[in-house]
Amino acid sequence: APGAQDYVPDSHVLTRLAEAAQQCHGCDLYLDAEQTVFGAGSRKARIVFVGEQPGDQEDRAGKPFVGPAGKMFDKALAAADIPRESAYVTNAVKHFKFTRSERGKQRIHKKPGRTEIVACRPWLIAELESVQPDVVVCLGATAAQTILGRTFRLTSHRGEVFDLSTDGDLPALSVSPQVTATIHPSAILRGPPQDRDAAFAAFVEDLRTAAALVG
């Protein structure tokens, strides 16, 4: 079966993992994207944020959360008094999945499928085992379903705290951080403008609650 496991080195050194991930052909997404966008941040982070996948700008920059959603995320982190450099930020899927607009100019985000999520999961497991955070925050349904299982519903379980040793969908994981899920910051941008302030405030509140779980 395809998957990233054949490409993941037997190492807990983040820089080695990131380097090896550049060569990953664990699913077909590497074919059209520019590069692997591995996680970034402190290797000693107590809190890890997991998004869905890199977007257009992340794919070009090779860094996670640098596009419009990343800017929204930075603003929310600042409002929640969480220094981004103290955290580790990554995505469930490490390559940008997209379709081209009719004239081929724009690359339009396409949601990763279960196959790609499962194929890429060994990288996420390796990152979590390397960083060994106290808390993992899933940003959006894709990250939440990657970590907490495909039946997880963000609408009913947003903000609840789970223990990965008993809940969740990462059986191979040797560490057991607490896990919580909130929206993806892109949802604030996509939502109706008149709802943005309230959506932002609720997101910041979720980040504060998650940060308070750090032991």
- Nearest approach in angstroms of CB 184 to ligand SF4 is 18
The piece of 27-35, 80-88, 157-165, 177-185 that touches ligand SF4 (CB under 6 A) is 27-35
- Nearest approach in angstroms of CB 8 to ligand SF4 is 9
Of the candidate residues 5, 30, 158, 161, the single one contacting ligand SF4 (CB under 6 A)? 30
Residue whose CB is less far from ligand SF4, 36 or 180 = 36
# residues near ligand SF4 by CB under 6 A: 16
Residue 93 binds ligand SF4 (CB under 6 A): yes
- Nearest approach in angstroms of CB 31 to ligand SF4 is 8
Residue whose CB is less far from ligand SF4, 34 or 74 = 34
Residue 110 binds ligand SF4 (CB under 6 A): no
DSSP letters of the chain? Answer: ---GGGG--S---HHHHHHHHTT--SSGGGGTSSS----EE-TT-SEEEEES---HHHHHHTSSS-SHHHHHHHHHHHHTT--GGGSEEEESSSS--EEE-TTS--EEE-PPPHHHHHHHHHHHHHHHHHH--SEEEEESHHHHHHHH-TT--HHHHTT-EEETTTSSS-TT-S---EEEEE--HHHHHHS-GGGHHHHHHHHHHHHHHHHTT--
